[in-house]
Structure 1
């Protein structure tokens, strides 16, 4: 999935102005802070080529809507991610209600990275332990065969 979210405030303004003048564009409105929404639109097919398998998906996290272009086959995964991240952001919002949207999302990203990194370390530890177990089992089998 690719993010088509502008980086600077000037780009945001230019994008919003472009969106508002495009008759095929969808008006993006923020939803309530406690909800996560995902709506999809197909890119219009202007010629006779097959329609691309990319759809514009408007996701809402902590009450703010973001346009994302997502491959069709990844939409369910995107929906799942949106609901997980939105729930996580709402839990953070409960603990720190005065955080700005930007600070909330930064904190959310940092906490989620910490979780991902901890899972990766756990996976590496399990892999090392599995390798040690395999080596020990092979040594036991070799020792058992030498006795027989």
Structure 2
């Protein structure tokens, strides 16, 4: 077993991705503010677009810590997702304690995908049933109106 799963995520990315993520300045000038103004209006400035604030958040899944860069306004959702995934992974680990961390996470992803896909099928089935019910109700109403 290798120790790759213990390394922070940014260390596992190619160098150019790690450097881009870690070295992004907080207040990056927009392209509109860098390009000289060639219009007749000399006193107007292009409005600056606020960059989302990114924060490094350390998460733990099945006992392994991972640093994640997350927009500040999405931290609550991230913690909720981590809690769900961690509980799911720990349940899988209880059933198969000899699985490596990588195998555990792959199995977790596949199982969660299966749940998502089943939920989508259920939603599609419900939508189809709603359409059939509506068509039947319309037919009943039309038949009832023709009798009256």
> 2-side partners of 1:105 and 1:60: how far apart?
12
Q: 1:125 to 1:104 in 2, by over 3 A?
A: same
Structure 2's unaligned 5+ residue stretches are 1-7, 30-47
The size of the alignment, in residue pairs, is 119
Q: If each structure's helix is expressed as a fraction of its own residues, which one has the higher value?
A: 2
Q: If each structure's strand is expressed as a fraction of its own residues, which one has the higher value?
A: 1
Deviation, structure 1 residue 105: 0.2
Residue 114, structure 1, aligned to residue 114, structure 2: yes
Deviations 1:47-101 (A, max 9, x none): 8986732222221101111122222221111111100000000000001000000
Max radius of gyration: which structure? 2
Ranges of 4+ aligned residues in structure 1 off by more than 3 Å: 8-12, 43-52
3-state SS of paired residue (2:77)? helix
Structure 1's unaligned 5+ residue stretches are 19-23, 25-42
Match of 1:90 in 2: 90
Deviation, structure 1 residue 5: 3.5
TM-score (norm 2): 0.67
Q: 1:147 to 1:107 in 2, by over 3 A?
A: same
Q: 1:46 to 1:120 in 2, by over 3 A?
A: closer
Q: 1:122 to 1:132 in 2, by over 3 A?
A: same
Contact 2:57 2:70 in 1 (8 A): yes
Residue 5, structure 1, aligned to residue 9, structure 2: yes
